Chains A and B, each alone.
Chain A
Amino acid sequence: MKRREFLTAGALAAAGGALLGSQVTFAGMARGKKPRFVFVILRGALDGLEAVPAVGDPGYAGLRGELAIGRPGTSGGALPLDGLFGLHPSLSFMHRSYTARELTVFHAVASPYRSRSHFDGQNVLETGHPQPHAVETGWLNRALAALPGALAPEAERGISIAPTAPLVMRGPAAVTSWSPSRLAPLDDDTLQRIADLYSRDPVLGQKLAEAIADQGSPGSLLATRGKPEAQYVEVARAAARFLRQADGPQVAVFDTTGWDTHFNEGNAKGQLAVRLSALDTALGALKDGLGPVWSDTAVLLATEFGRTVAQNGTRGTDHGTATAAYLLGGAVRGGRVMTDWPGLSPRALYQDRDLRPTLDLRAVMKGVLAEHLGVPERALESPVFPDSRDARAVRGLLRA
């Protein structure tokens, strides 16, 4: 089915301008605790052995060469996790979260995708389908659609903090997206006339209705130019603003780019360290922005695949296979590294070069969807993660 057809139902409601300016509410939402979920896409293949170095593995330092992060306690060394693993020294907020039992790290994890194309890998990461480009909707949207009452146009439970919704958020469930507008607002009359013109164009009609509904949103991203830190922090703050609203969305998605470190990756300092630090600061800002809602929040960070274990010829790493993923938040039963660690001995490597995957990323995603968002058990494989029977949901990821 085409995306355009999915959108038709919502567009009909928008066509006459009836929705313009109306308050979006979540009528179906039960009173009491409302779980919040944030999915952060790390585009470009974040090096899991740099972010979560296996400092206790006898093969680590030798294979990594100049990229190796030192053991905890050494200068520029890792922040300690459990003896075998540490966190990159730039990830201080994440480390405090780990100590506070609000961060679980998954290692040697991978999506079902086994080739090394960013674009196909991200497609699998977002569609939740084992084959790239098999479907045009995302697993998170399909999961939202599986929640009771989700298909009503007024039930927008998801928001993308991005100019256009990433693939993971596209699909049958009504979702919205938000990014700042720097131009002066239109007068209502012109807007109404344009809405009339769009009554015959389902896509534009729907998008305009969404845009107008979001106009009342507080804040602006005016200051987000240049450095990754300012951008990430502003995006994270925007996500927090929306999620914090009692009648606002409960799921947010945003993405970060620049993790494709083929060249001069650095170690405790350097290019990747700067970006990890920016991400870490943004996650801290997300927590601050969410305030009391943080205790109902789980944040999943995932990337399309890992990178070669050994450094390449230009002090970076090339595309690999398994990597790390991260589940963070007040709702998370954290303080753990969950892995069936394959080790870094030559025999253990996947195709003689990559960290071998031992945990299916979909198993983590299914666990979060089921226990945190309450996605019905029967929906987890179909329609959310087709052909994923072997990737059984990981249980016990959230606080009781």
Chain B
Amino acid sequence: MRLMEKGLTSAIAANRFGLGARPGELAAIGGAGPDWLRAQLEGPAPQIGGDGLQSSAGILTRIYDLRRTLRAERMRAGRRGAAGPRSAGASGAAVGAFKKLPQLIRPIYLAEAGARFRQSVSTQRPFVERLTQFWSNHFAVSVDKGVLAALAGSYERETIRPYVLGNFTDMLLATQRHPAMLLYLDNQLSMGPDSRAARNIERRNPGRRPGINENLARETMELHTVSVDGGYTQADVTAFAQVLTGWSIAGPRDSRRGAQPGTFLFRAAMHQPGTQVVMGRRYPDTGYDQGVAVLRDFARHPATARFIATKLARHFIADDPPAQAVDRMAAAFSQSGGDLPTVYRALIDSPQAWDRPVSKLKTPWDFIVSAFRGLELPVSTDKAPVGLFQLLGQRIWCPGSPAGWPDGSADWDGASELLKRIEWSDAVGQRIGPGRDARELAPRLLGNVLSTATREGIAHAGSAAQAITLLLAAPEFMRR
């Protein structure tokens, strides 16, 4: 490999596969980029916790408790209001209630985003962190819906981090049954039209017939597994939605039958009875296991292997994923039964992954994190600079759609977004000024991809502050 011989692999490994070099990281890689990446796949994946981070079940229980309190307050206020001509008490309580849920959620979001940001800035295994973020985006939830802002962080810790160096099937099952995903894609109330629960409701309210909600079923097929080209029909989506009826979340009252509130609960009474045919295979009604069986088959489907391989190649290599790298990873995925480290090693072993340095534009997340790593900027111990991510166009865990953030350079190269990156780079330069020598730092962060033009631009900068701005704004630093 020509580029490898020129010692480029350290810079490519740290920037394309990692989160940008910390000073000293390129020297540690020592020209052996592929080995450095492979070594990161050994051992259990890093987990983050402590720091007052709570489980999804714990968070949902607090939300349930708050809702119960607010309901009780509202009823009391309503009674008071009914006694008098004007019910100022009721509207006052309603205003207070309106604020209380955000007051509960916001600190959770800040703590989770902070933990993720600190992990990204400090990790010694940045490749694993990038993979974690890749999968979190593949199985995306978005904090602009409902209570997801309270759950996005714990969801990632509970469904992605434990499996990022494990098997795809396990990650798929963990994500699809997690309360965050069930809430995000509206499955928790989806009910088989012929289920016991639906019949009971219809008996009590003639004319109201509850039924399925296809949202999770469709996005699982389209976005998480076989993809839109996977060869399924509307009938398959509908059948799979029937399979998933009953995949729900335990509420406060379910503790009476031994279910912990805020955890996954299969509600047999809501499950559509009968055999379903999904993508040509028959699945007898085995209750919860019917859904597991379908998901396992989706995970093993060749279209899933190709879809995942293509997305990984687009993310790590190039906007137009090179066909040989896709083929290699798809084969590794299929032959290993979805063993993710095997797939990652196929990525590392693809010569195309080491071609064309700095071809992809960093996302705002990658840009900000790499600046913090490279300049060793101080990180707050309790929260992430969430406003900064929002300003640069990538509010944390808020892709706004179940498809996740887009992954092409052209999705991130808006003129005013670029200007904001530059303006922020300028603000960083102003702030740390002569605290760092960009002339010394540039080769340590960018290695062999540092261009002569950038090196000279930095050397001739008007001030130390301006030199730092130029380093961060340089094309080699904006790209990976």
Chain A contacts to B: CB under 8 angstroms: 2-3, 65-66, 115-120, 132, 136, 162-165, 170, 176-186, 189-191, 193-194, 196-201, 203-204, 207-208, 210-212, 214-215, 257, 262-263, 312-314, 316, 318-319, 351
Question: Looking across the interface, which residue of chain A has its beta carbon closest to that of B214?
Answer: A318
Q: Does the CB pair A208–B418 fall under 8 Å? A: yes
Q: Does the CB pair A263–B400 fall under 8 Å? A: no
Interface majority SS (helix, strand, loop, mixed), chain A: loop
B470 interfacial contact with A, CB 8 Å: yes
Report the minimum CB–CB distance from A156 to chain B (whole Å). 11
* 14 A-B pairs (CB sep. < 8 Å): A136-B410, A163-B416, A163-B417, A177-B414, A178-B415, A179-B414, A179-B417, A181-B416, A183-B423, A197-B453, A197-B470, A200-B475, A214-B416, A263-B215
CA distance A351 to B198 in the complex (A): 25
Q: Does the CB pair A190–B469 fall under 8 Å? A: yes
CB within 8 Å for A164 and B414 given contacts A181-B423, A197-B475, A200-B475 = yes
From A120, A189, A313, contact of B193 by CB (8 A): A313
CB within 8 Å for A314 and B415 given contacts A170-B410, A190-B466, A194-B470 = no
- The interface residues of chain B lying within 8 Å CB-to-CB of A65 are 208
From B213, B418, B420, contact of A313 by CB (8 A): B213
B134 interfacial contact with A, CB 8 Å: no
- The interface residues of chain A lying within 8 Å CB-to-CB of B215 are 262-263, 318
Question: Looking across the interface, which residue of chain A has its beta carbon closest to that of B475?
Answer: A201
Q: Does the CB pair B190–A164 fall under 8 Å? A: no
B411 interfacial contact with A, CB 8 Å: yes
CA distance A163 to B190 in the complex (A): 36
- The interface residues of chain A lying within 8 Å CB-to-CB of B213 are 262-263, 312-314, 316, 318
Question: Looking across the interface, which residue of chain A has its beta carbon closest to that of B213?
Answer: A314
CA distance A314 to B197 in the complex (A): 14
Q: Does the CB pair A163–B400 fall under 8 Å? A: no
Q: Does the CB pair B212–A312 fall under 8 Å? A: yes
Report the minimum CB–CB distance from B164 to chain A (whole Å). 25
Q: Does the CB pair B414–A312 fall under 8 Å? A: no
B186 interfacial contact with A, CB 8 Å: yes
Binds A, one of B27-35, B58-66, B373-381, B454-462: B454-462
CA distance A118 to B185 in the complex (A): 14
Q: Does the CB pair B470–A179 fall under 8 Å? A: no
CA distance A123 to B427 in the complex (A): 37
Q: Does the CB pair B228–A177 fall under 8 Å? A: no
CA distance A257 to B210 in the complex (A): 27
Report the minimum CB–CB distance from A365 to chain B (whole Å). 23
Q: Does the CB pair B234–A351 fall under 8 Å? A: yes
B437 interfacial contact with A, CB 8 Å: no
Q: Does the CB pair A200–B453 fall under 8 Å? A: yes
- The interface residues of chain B lying within 8 Å CB-to-CB of A314 are 186, 189-190, 210-211, 213
CB within 8 Å for A211 and B415 given contacts A120-B228, A183-B391, A198-B475 = yes
- The interface residues of chain B lying within 8 Å CB-to-CB of A182 are 391, 420
CA distance A180 to B208 in the complex (A): 47
Question: Looking across the interface, which residue of chain B has its beta carbon closest to that of A225?
Answer: B390
Chain B, range 404-426, C-beta contacts under 8 Å to A: 409-420, 422-424, 426
Report the minimum CB–CB distance from A266 to chain B (whole Å). 15
Report the minimum CB–CB distance from B1 to chain A (whole Å). 24
CA distance A262 to B457 in the complex (A): 54
- The interface residues of chain B lying within 8 Å CB-to-CB of A210 are 415
- The interface residues of chain A lying within 8 Å CB-to-CB of B361 are 203
Report the minimum CB–CB distance from A190 to chain B (whole Å). 6
Q: Does the CB pair B451–A207 fall under 8 Å? A: no
B401 interfacial contact with A, CB 8 Å: yes
B393 interfacial contact with A, CB 8 Å: yes
B191 interfacial contact with A, CB 8 Å: yes
Interface bits B212-247 vs A (CB < 8 Å: 1, else 0): 111100100010000010000010010000000000
CA distance A185 to B426 in the complex (A): 9
Q: Does the CB pair B414–A207 fall under 8 Å? A: yes
Report the minimum CB–CB distance from A213 to chain B (whole Å). 8
Report the minimum CB–CB distance from B188 to chain A (whole Å). 9
Q: Does the CB pair A208–B422 fall under 8 Å? A: yes
Q: Does the CB pair A313–B191 fall under 8 Å? A: yes
Additional A-B contact list (6), CB under 8 Å, known A193-B457, A314-B213: A116-B237, A165-B414, A170-B410, A178-B416, A182-B391, A207-B415
